[in-house]
Structure 1
Amino acid sequence: MSDETKTETVATAAVTVASGSQLTNAQKARIERNQAKAQKLREAKLVSHPYKNITNKGNSGEEQIGQANAIIKVQGTKYIDSGGGFLLEQPVLPITGKTANGDAAEATAAILDDAIAIPVVYEECLDCGDQYADSYLFNNFGHSVCDKCRDTEERHSLITRTEAKAEYLLKDCDFDKREPKLRYISRKNPHNVRWGEMKLYLHLQVLKRAMEVWGSEEELTRQHELREDKREVGKARKYNKQMKELRMEVRSSLFTKKTSVVHQHEFGEDTYNEEEDNYTHSCLSCPYTETYEKM
């Protein structure tokens, strides 16, 4: 039998006895204590849902939240014991109160928010005029065009650094030192993975840089023609030099045959050396001397 049942039974028995006989003051006090104890035990075992007392007041928009049986505070946050084995975060709603002067006012509960608010900056597309928060061309090249308007085949195509230097007659300093520096993305070389990475530039930005260097498309075309003329003159000069060397080798009057003949020694009379018992003879056309023994 539980404590609540025992206490309630004692209180009931005491009331029954009191109906047949006169009770003393001590007995009456004991009965009252037992009844209060039984009431507290009964209230402690009652589990109420934390949101059963939430009521809405019509169209006024004001809400009231009833207190639950247990409120637990963990690291500054209040939680309500649901009675079902989990905790619910206590909602914070506006409450009404009075100021020090007695005027009615609404006191808003403070809500602590540890999150950092990051403002989202929207860019405007140069083609369609729509606003966007993220774009491939803007992130990699700083060109304000959204992904919907991106044309990878023509207007927004990419070009390698080598092709850009050959087509627009640019130098390395035009890419890396002239402000603003041209942005690029690195990709593996498709011809051979062991080679260095390719630097891909936005074709529009390369063309704009070429116009800054040469001033106009006509000047760029003229520079191409000048370099083509110099290339042709160089080829002609090299061809004439090779033909001249060929004629010099073919002409018999100026031709000198380059041959190498091995020298043949012609020895004179032999000279006998009695001390060493050998013979010596010398070449008649060169200072070569040979010593030998006769068998």
Structure 2
Amino acid sequence: MDTTTTEQSEKKETKLTAAQISRIERNRVKAQNLRKGKLVSNPYSLNKTDLDVPGSSVFKVQSTRFVDSGGGFLIEAPLTASQAGPSDKQATSKLYEEPPVTFPITYTECLECADKFSGSYLLDNFDHAVCDKCRDPEEKHALITKTEAKAEYLLKDCDFDRREPVLKFISKKNARYTKWGEMKLYLLLQVQKRALEVWGSEEEVIKQQEERDEKRVVTKVKRYNKQMKQLRMDVRSSLYTKKLKPMHQHEFGPEVYNEEEDTYSHSCVS
């Protein structure tokens, strides 16, 4: 069976005409051309050997080759050591001639423990030279809001923002009133120092606080008395007698006769 089939296939192959053979050859050549066209149009299918083909769309800029994709953009194809010329090697060698730039690290001495450190929370945010190990956020290095500082140490906005050096602060969201703006938190030590600069001494600060407290108490008492008086007028208006000034008592002089009008009149002498 195998010999008969091979003989039949050989007979079929020999039966092809010259026209059929030429058509097959044309189709084969056409398929090869299409295949070559697809390889050229797709830049990502190029291998390293294709970049060296003369006449290809390759552009060299310094030490980098760019392949024209035919779609409006270039594809970077870096040169290998064997492909790079003397000018390219010289350009690449210049990139490594200069040493890398290094920034010096400055160390600060801690005011509490005298140890040197490069950075900390208080130094970065408030320019206060205290390391993180010595930081006491509850008492010594506590934070205070601007509203509390103005009320307790009798400071104004210009004392925070305009007086040199300007006090540094950090912004934090208000946990109680989320719709309000952010709070400004200052370092308590710096606020106390600024209060001494404004008022001169701690005794003067205490004196000003006492005077303000007395004025506040007097104002509250006056407001309370005014409100109570208004309340009595509203509730017991019938029993409330308003103090009036005494009326003027006339003291008339002697009567005077007017002959033209034939009238008598007298006027108050007081």
Give TM-score, length-normalised by structure 2. 0.52
Higher strand proportion: 1
* Aligned with 1:232 (options 213, 217, 239): 217
Question: What residue identity is the alignment partner of 1:141?
Answer: F
Alignment of 1:1-295 (within 5 A): 73=89, 75-76=92-93, 112-248=97-233, 250=236, 252=238
Contact 1:248 1:255 in 2 (8 A): no
Question: What residue identity is the alignment partner of 1:183?
Answer: K
Q: Which runs of 5+ in 2 are unaligned?
A: 1-81, 243-270
The offset of 1:117, in angstroms, is 2.2
Contact 1:123 1:133 in 2 (8 A): yes
**How many Å separate the matches in 2 of 1:254 and 1:142?**
65
Q: 1:226 to 1:130 in 2, by over 3 A?
A: same
The offset of 1:232, in angstroms, is 1.4
RMSD: 2.6
Contact 1:150 1:156 in 2 (8 A): yes
Q: 1:185 to 1:253 in 2, by over 3 A?
A: closer
Q: 1:76 to 1:170 in 2, by over 3 A?
A: same
Question: What residue identity is the alignment partner of 2:196?
Answer: M
The offset of 1:130, in angstroms, is 1.1
Higher relative contact order (CA 8 A, sep 6+): 2
SS at match of 1:76: helix
Q: 1:224 to 1:77 in 2, by over 3 A?
A: closer
Which residue number in structure 2 is paired with residue 29 of structure 1?
none
The offset of 1:248, in angstroms, is 4.8
Equivalent residue pairs, number: 154
**How many Å separate the matches in 1 of 2:239 and 2:101?**
95
Question: What residue identity is the alignment partner of 2:167?
Answer: L
The offset of 1:242, in angstroms, is 3.0
Give TM-score, length-normalised by structure 1. 0.47
Q: 1:77 to 1:199 in 2, by over 3 A?
A: same
SS at match of 1:212: helix
Question: What residue identity is the alignment partner of 2:185?
Answer: L
